[in-house]
C-alpha cells in the first residue's frame, strides 16, 4: 500500500467514516497548504501529551501546564459530593454538563456492554467504578444516577452495572436511580411506544 | 375538470398526500375490479351513519345497531372516574389506550391551537371540555392530565387549555398534571436537548 | 370488523399506504362535512363510467360524453405514426408527455414483469402489444422505443418484451430501441455506477 | 483554545464534517494507542512528500521512490492520445477509471466554477488546461470530453470552460463533447425530469 492508501485505511477507522469519505479526507489533505498539515500533525502529536484522563472520573481533559490528576469538574469544590452520575462516554458528559441539568460529580465508563458480551469487565471501567464508589462513601455519597442511552446496548449496560453495584449500594445505604423516562422534546403521542407512554403517565407532574 | 382530475383534487386533501400520490390513487382505483369500488363507495356512504361521536369524550366510535350516546370507554364502569386525560386527536387516544398505560377517562379536543391563533376556541372543543369537567366534578374528578405532543403546537395548546381551566380546577380542588417528560425509548444522551435532559435528571427514579 | 376497520383495510391497499395512514384517512373522512363525502362517493362511482381504456394504447382517459374508443393522443393525426413508445404505466406516459420529449404514439403495458415471473403474459399486455404492432405495420411503423425504468424489474420487462417482439420486428424491418442511458440531471461523477459511466462515455455528444 | 478544541477546529474543516463529528474524532484519537497516533502523524507528514501532482493531468499520485513528473496513467503509452477527458476532481478520475469506460488521457481541473463567480480562473486550472491542450495538439488530439457533474455548478463550469476553449478547438479542428445524458441506472420514468427525458429520447439506441 502507498501512503494515500495507508492514510485512507486509518481514516476508515474514524467513527462514522466509510471508504469514500476516507478517500475524500486524503485528497482534502493533499490540497491543504503545508501550514495546515503541520498544525494537524503537531496537534495530533500533542493531543495525548496535553490531555490527561482524570484520575477520578476518567474523562479526558486538557492538562497542559501543571500536570494535575483531577479534571476541573472533579476538583470543583462547589459541586455536590453526595450524588454521582455514571455515563458511558465523554460526549455524554459534555452534553449533560452543557445542559446545566446536573450539579454533582461524574464517572465515565468509557463504553457500553454489548448484548451477549461474555467479558463485560473488559468493555467498561467497572472495577474503577467500584473503587470510585467505595472512595466516595466517606465523602457522603448518597445516590448514584445511571445515565445511559435508552437503546438496547444502554439498557444492557444498565442491567450489568446495576447488578455489580447493587450489593455495595444496599449495604451502604446508597440510592440507585436512573434518568427519568417519558416524552422527549418534540415527541408525538400518536407515534410514541408503549414503554414511553407508560413512563409518561407514571411520571406525570 | 374531468372525473380523474376532480378525484385527484379530493385525494390531495387527504392527510400527507401530494399531487403525485393523489394521481396514483386514481390510477389504482381505475385498475380495481367493480366490487372493490362498490365496497369503497358504500363504506364511505355508511361511515358517518354507522359511526357516532361520543357525547362524553367526543371520539368517533362504531355505533351501528342501537344508537348509543356513549362510546365503550366512556360507558365502561370499571374505569376510574377520578382522572381525566385530555388529548388532541382520536389517534392519540388509540395509541395511549393500546399501551394500557391509563385506566381513567378521556376527552378528545379534536385539534390543536396553532401558535398565534386568534380564535383558539374555534380550533378545539374548549367549551365542551369545560362542561365535561363541570359535570365530572360530582363524580369525584380529582385530576386532569393534559396529554399533548411536546412540539410547539402541543405546548401552545397546553398553555391555552391550562389557563382556561385553571380557575375552575383551583376552586374545585382538581389537580392539573401533564405527561412526564424525560428520555423516550431509544434516546441517546449525546443528542438529547437541554429540556429533555433537565427533565430526565429531575424525574430520575 | 366494523365500518371504520373495513375502510381502513381498503385504504391499506392503496399504493404506498400503511396501517397508520389508513387509519388517519378514516378519521380524516369522519371530520369532513357531508358534501365532501358525497362528492368523493359519487366521483368514485362515476370514475369508471366516465373513463375509458383507450382501444389502441390502453391508457385510461376521461371519456364522458360521446363514447370514443381512442384517447386524444391516439386520435391526434398530427402525431408521428412511424414510432411507438412502449411504457409500463399510465404515469410514465403522463410524465413523458408532459416533458414534450416525444411526438409519436404510445402503448401502455399496464405493469412490469417481476424477476423469475413464470407467467409474464399475465402481468403485462404482451398479446395486445403484438396485435398493436401488427396493426401499425400498415401505417408505416418503423421504430419501437422501449421506455422502462432502469431498475431490475424494468430491465427484466425489457428482456422479455424484446424477445417476444424480436422476430416480428426483424421480418418487418422495424427498428427496436431503448431510451438513452447516461447521466441524469443532478448526477455526480464520483457516485455514478459503472453502467451509467460507460453509457455516458459511449453516448457522449 | 486548548489542544482538544484546536484539533476539533481542524477536523471541522474536513469535507462533510460538522462540530459533533469533529469532537468525536478527537475523543476517538484520545482512546487510540500510541502506535495508531504515531502512524497517523507520520503518514500525514509523508503524504505530500510521497505524493506528487502529475505535471500533465495534475492529479495526485503516489511517487515515493524515483521522483517522476508523470502519473502512471499519463505515462502509459497504451492509452489513446487522441482523446482527453477533463474532470473536476481526483475522485471523479478515480471513479471513471475504475469503471473502465475510458481509455484516453485525463486532465483534472481541481474544482468547479461556482455560479456568479467573478474570478473563475482562480477556481480551476484553466490556464494549465489551455497549455495542456496546446501541447497535445502535436500528439494528435482530436477530441476533448468535458465530464462534469450535471448539477448547476458542473453546468456552470462546463459553460465557462467551453467558451475558453472554443476558439482554439475550432481553429485546430478538435471536437468538443460532453458525457451523454439520459437515464442513469435505477431511474424511474415517473420521476424523471424533462431534461433527462428529452435526452433519453434523443439518445435512444
Q: Check pLDDT > 80 for residue A67.
A: no
The Cα of C94 is separated from the nearest Cα of chain D by a number of Å equal to 8
Q: Which portions of chain D are predicted below pLDDT 50?
A: none
* E strand or H helix at A70: none
Instruction: Of C105, C153, C109, C101, give the one whose Cα is nearest residue C128.
Output: C109
Domain extent listing, chain D = 3-52, 79-178
Q: How confident is the model at residue A1 (pLDDT cuts 50, 70, 90)?
A: confident
- Taking residues C135-150, report their average pLDDT: 95
The Cα of C96 is separated from the nearest Cα of chain D by a number of Å equal to 7
The yes/no answer on whether domain D79-178 falls in CATH 3.40.50.980 is no
Nearest to B184 among A178, A192, A204 (CB): A192
Distances (CA, A) of A115 to A126, B32, B184, C153, C203: 16, 48, 20, 39, 53
Tell me how far apart the alpha carbons of residues C80 and C85 are, in angstroms, rounded to a whole number. Answer: 11
Grid cell, residue D48, equals 505530500
Q: In a mutagenesis test of the D interface, which of A1, A14, A46, A58 is the best target, namely the one with the most D β-carbons within 10 Å?
A: A14
Q: What is the DSSP letter of B179?
A: P
Output b/e per residue, C99-131; b: 16+ Cβ within 10 A.
Answer: bebbebbbbbbbbbbeeebeebeebbbbebbee
Q: Rounded to two decimals, what is the model's pTM?
A: 0.78
Q: How confident is the model at residue C64 (pLDDT cuts 50, 70, 90)?
A: low
Query: Which comes out higher in pLDDT, residue A1 or C55?
Result: C55
Segment among A127-141, B50-64, C117-131 with least mean pLDDT: B50-64
The CATH number of the structural domain formed by C3-47 is 1.10.8.420
What Rg value do the Cα atoms of chain D yield, rounded?
21
Q: In a mutagenesis test of the D interface, which of C97, C149, C157, C184 is the best target, namely the one with the most D β-carbons within 10 Å?
A: C184
The Cα of B9 is separated from the nearest Cα of chain C by a number of Å equal to 10
> B47–C29: do the CB atoms touch at under 8 Å?
yes
DSSP secondary structure of C176-194: EEEPPBSBPTT--GGG--H
Q: What is the DSSP letter of C122?
A: G
Which residue bears the cell 454489548? A114
The Cα of B20 is separated from the nearest Cα of chain C by a number of Å equal to 9
Q: Is C200 helix (H, G, I), strand (E, B) or coil?
A: helix
Grid cell, residue C44, equals 368514485
Q: Which tens digit of pLDDT belongs to each residue from D167-192?
A: 999 999 999 999 999 999 999 999 99
- Taking residues A70-87, report their average pLDDT: 96
Q: Which tens digit of pLDDT belongs to each residue from A7-61?
A: 999 999 999 999 989 999 999 999 898 999 999 999 999 998 899 999 999 999 9
Q: In a mutagenesis test of the B interface, which of C3, C25, C95 is the best target, namely the one with the most B β-carbons within 10 Å?
A: C3
Output b/e per residue, C170-182; b: 16+ Cβ within 10 A.
Answer: eeeebeebbbbbb
Q: How confident is the model at residue A65 (pLDDT cuts 50, 70, 90)?
A: low
Phi first, then psi: give them for residue D189, nearest 5 degrees.
-60, -35
Q: Check pLDDT > 70 for residue C84.
A: yes
Q: Which tens digit of pLDDT belongs to each residue from C119-142?
A: 999 999 999 999 999 999 999 999
Q: Is A22 helix (H, G, I), strand (E, B) or coil?
A: helix
Tell me how far apart the alpha carbons of residues B200 and B182 are, in angstroms, rounded to a whole number. Answer: 4
> C47–B4: do the CB atoms touch at under 8 Å?
yes
> D14–A31: do the CB atoms touch at under 8 Å?
no
Distances (CA, A) of C92 to B9, C16, C114, C175, D183: 20, 17, 18, 22, 13
Grid cell, residue A71, equals 479534571
CB atoms within 10 A of CB D31: 13
* E strand or H helix at D133: helix D126-137
The CATH number of the structural domain formed by A70-178 is 3.40.1360.10
Q: Is D50 helix (H, G, I), strand (E, B) or coil?
A: coil
Query: Average pLDDT over chain A, rounded to whole?
Result: 94
Instruction: Of B199, B193, B201, B204, give the one whose Cα is nearest residue B178.
Output: B199
**A-chain residues near B185 (CB < 8 A):** 150, 181, 193, 195-196
The CATH number of the structural domain formed by B69-178 is 3.40.1360.10
Grid cell, residue A121, equals 469487565
Q: Check pLDDT > 70 for residue B205.
A: yes
The answer to whether the D3-52 and D79-178 domains have the same CATH topology is no
Grid cell, residue A169, equals 449500594
Tell me how far apart the alpha carbons of residues A115 and D61 are, in angstroms, rounded to a whole number. Answer: 44
Q: How confident is the model at residue B63 (pLDDT cuts 50, 70, 90)?
A: confident
Tell me how far apart the alpha carbons of residues B27 and A86 are, in angstroms, rounded to a whole number. Answer: 57
> B95–A189: do the CB atoms touch at under 8 Å?
yes
Q: Give the distance, in angstroms, between the CA of residue B38 and the centroid of all CA atoms in the same chain.
A: 31
The Cα of D66 is separated from the nearest Cα of chain A by a number of Å equal to 14
Query: Which comes out higher in pLDDT, residue D5 or A63?
Result: D5
Q: Which tens digit of pLDDT belongs to each residue from B102-135?
A: 999 999 999 999 999 999 999 999 999 999 999 9
CATH of D3-52, one of 3.40.50.300, 3.40.1800.10, 1.10.8.420, 1.10.1510.10: 1.10.8.420
Residue A68 is predicted with a pLDDT of: 81
Residue A63 is predicted with a pLDDT of: 80
Q: Check pLDDT > 80 for residue B3.
A: yes
Residue C97 is predicted with a pLDDT of: 96
Q: Check pLDDT > 70 for residue A64.
A: no
> C47–B41: do the CB atoms touch at under 8 Å?
no
Q: Check pLDDT > 80 for residue C67.
A: no
Amino acid at each position: 500500500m502507498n501512503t494515500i492508501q495507508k492514510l485512507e485505511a486509518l481514516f476508515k477507522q474514524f467513527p462514522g467514516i466509510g471508504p469514500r469519505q476516507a478517500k475524500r479526507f486524503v485528497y482534502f489533505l493533499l490540497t491543504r497548504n503545508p501550514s495546515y498539515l503541520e498544525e494537524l500533525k503537531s496537534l495530533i502529536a500533542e493531543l495525548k501529551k496535553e490531555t490527561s484522563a482524570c484520575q477520578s472520573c476518567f474523562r479526558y481533559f486538557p492538562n497542559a501546564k501543571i500536570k494535575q490528576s483531577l479534571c476541573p469538574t472533579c476538583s470543583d469544590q462547589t459541586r455536590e459530593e453526595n450524588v454521582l452520575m455514571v455515563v458511558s462516554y465523554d460526549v455524554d458528559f459534555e452534553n449533560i454538563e452543557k445542559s446545566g441539568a446536573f450539579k454533582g460529580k461524574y464517572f465515565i465508563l468509557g463504553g457500553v456492554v454489548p448484548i451477549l458480551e461474555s467479558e463485560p469487565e473488559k468493555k467498561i471501567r467497572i472495577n474503577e467504578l467500584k473503587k470510585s464508589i467505595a472512595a466516595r462513601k466517606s465523602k457522603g455519597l448518597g445516590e448514584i444516577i445511571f445515565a445511559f442511552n435508552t437503546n438496547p446496548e444502554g439498557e444492557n449496560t444498565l442491567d450489568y452495572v446495576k447488578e455489580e453495584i447493587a450489593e455495595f449500594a444496599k449495604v451502604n445505604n446508597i440510592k440507585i436511580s436512573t434518568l427519568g423516562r417519558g416524552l422527549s422534546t418534540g415527541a408525538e403521542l400518536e407515534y410514541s411506544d408503549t414503554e414511553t407512554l407508560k413512563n409518561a403517565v407514571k411520571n406525570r407532574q
